[in-house]
Amino acid sequence: MLPDSAAVRARWARVQENLRAEGADAMIVVKPQNTFYLSGYTPMIYSHPVLVVLPAEGDPVFVLHALRAHSSRQTSLITDIRPYGRWAKEIGPDHWWEVLVDVLRERGLAAGRIGIEGEFLPYAYHQRFSEVLPEASFADTGAALMRARYVKDAAELESLRVASAIADAGMDAALAAMAERRSEVEVSSAAMQAMQRTWSTDHPDRLAMDFGNLEGGVFNALWAYSLVGDRVPMNSAPPTTRRPVDGEIQWTVIWTAVDGMHAENERSVAFGRLNAERQAAFEALLAIREETAPYLRPGLTCAEVYEAAREAYHRHGYGDYLPGRIGHGLGLGPHEQPSLGPNDDLVLAPGMTLTFEPNLRIPSFGGLQHSDSLVITEDGYEFLTHTRRDLIQV
């Protein structure tokens, strides 16, 4: 479900607390995931810049093109909407930076310390900020906003549960297609068709949307791809007409996004009888997952979870195949912070959502990976995807 006013105001407050802690007077937000997080509105196609000006104290302002003025007034939970440009009878200043300057001057912040999203902000935007706000100083406060996004609120978790249920339906269809020895393309197509049916039948009031950019939008975010055998180490590649043969392993990836919230479901499937090497690897990977999962609990760091996995990989004889991480954050991005890797000291807390994906990539035959979406709970974790997690064999 989309957030209500109280939920969005709580988001503002979390980010503002972080901004004040970093000595920022305001933040200019342009990343689509972040403007949606603060407003509950996405134009879908970001053909014109969209900005949120969030002061460290007080309500934010939405700056967007006149083309989006009507739709934003219908949906946005930021009520102070300032259009620029012209569309029909909606007329504002010609450029977004003119509106930005006006807003900051109104708030007495034009000479303040202004936060920006350092890892995301295009160079041209940064240059424009410096030109039109010559008295301001700028600081990277992207992490301050991201920290507020780590723990999901009730609306986000409900959307993620729906996204996970749709992903499960897609994987069920993929498994059925693989049992018929269908090609990579056919497996992927079967999964996506099933997800479309589940969405339109069971969840027609939800938005199966992702975030666009200046060149386009993503109006449907229910998709899959599948790779066979020696193609698995490609990790991400368009599916082909390649079909599995006995003794091979096929890996299927499903990503969904509902109301902007992403879920992930990935499974490896064995065809017929595996040789000794592949059978041992599959059994070891399942054991590594089982031995590492109890470390997914509040109070432990991401690095501690990874270290538990490292020990399990070595214990089962696969230390040379240890991946760089065994999971990652999920939310408005399909791959967001934190990372279940060796250098992330973030402490897990209830409400954080992650993937859990210990994997093996072995050049002699390809690789293996089951991936689930989960949420950290008060005393452990809850899987949000529910496809079988054993040695799946068809």
Distance CA 12, CA 57 (A): 10
User: Nearest to residue 326, comparing CAs of 299, 352, 290, 356?
Assistant: 356
**174 and 130, same structural domain?**
no
Say whether 295 sits in a helix, a strand or coil. helix
Model's pTM, two decimal places? 0.95
CATH number at residue 77: 3.40.350.10
pLDDT in tens, 58-78: 999 999 999 999 999 999 999
Return the structure tokens found at 107.
């708030």
Burial label, 95 (beta-carbon count in 10 A; 0-12, 13-18, 19+): middle
Q: How far apart are CA 220 and CA 215, in angstroms?
A: 16
Q: Cis link prior to 3 (omega < 30° from 0)?
A: no
Residue length of the chain:
394
Cα 68 to Cα 89: distance, rounded to the nearest angstrom: 12
Report the b/e string of 132-146 with b at 16+ CB within 10 A: ebeebebbebbebbb
The domain containing residue 76 runs over which residues?
Answer: 5-149
| CA 263/CA 99 separation, integer angstroms | 36
Claim to verify: residue 137 and residue 208 sit in the same structural domain: no
105 pLDDT higher than 90: yes
> Does residue 25 lie within any of the structural domains?
yes
Non-local (6+) Cβ contacts of 204 within 8 A are: none
Q: What is the CATH number of the domain that holds 211?
A: 3.90.230.10
Same domain as 158, residue 117: no
For position 219, what pLDDT does the model report?
A: 86
Final residue of a structural domain among 149, 181, 211: 149
Which two structure tokens, joined as six digits, stand for 116? 């920006």
Together in a domain, 79 and 170: no
Residue 246 included in any domain: yes
Residues 227 and 287 in one domain: yes
Is a pLDDT exceeding 90 seen at residue 215? no
Which residue, of 91, 123, 149, is where some domain finishes? 149
Q: How confident is the model at residue 216 (pLDDT cuts 50, 70, 90)?
A: confident
The C-alpha angle 227, 232, 237, rounded to 5 degrees, equals 60
pLDDT one-digit tens code per residue, 362-373: 989 999 999 999
Contact between residue 352 and residue 273 where contact means Cβ atoms under 8 Å apart: no
Last residue of a domain, one of 149, 167, 188: 149
**Per-residue model confidence as pLDDT tens digits over 153-206:** 999 999 999 999 999 999 999 999 999 999 999 999 999 999 999 999 999 999
**Cα dist. 384→9, 221, 342 in Å?**
27, 18, 25
Find the helix packing angle between 142-150 and 5-21, rounded to 10°: 130
pLDDT above 90 covers a percentage of the chain that reads 94
pLDDT digits over 301-342, tens only?
999 999 999 999 999 999 999 999 999 999 999 999 999 999
Same domain? 204 vs 113: no
Q: Looking at the structure, do residues 131 and 200 belong to the same domain, yes or no?
A: no
pLDDT, tens digit, 9 for 90 and up, residues 333-392? 999 999 999 999 999 999 999 999 999 999 899 999 999 999 999 999 999 999 999 999
Q: Dihedrals φ, ψ of 170, to 5°?
A: -65, -40
Is the Cβ–Cβ distance between 240 and 184 less than 8 Å? yes
pLDDT of residue 304: 98
Q: Report how far apart, in Å, the C-alpha atoms of 269 and of each of 97, 205, 287 are.
A: 53, 33, 16
Using pLDDT thresholds of 50, 70 and 90, give the confidence band for residue 213.
confident
Exposure of 390 in the CB half-sphere (CA atoms within 13 A): 4
**Residue 255 main-chain phi, psi, to 5 deg:** -120, 140
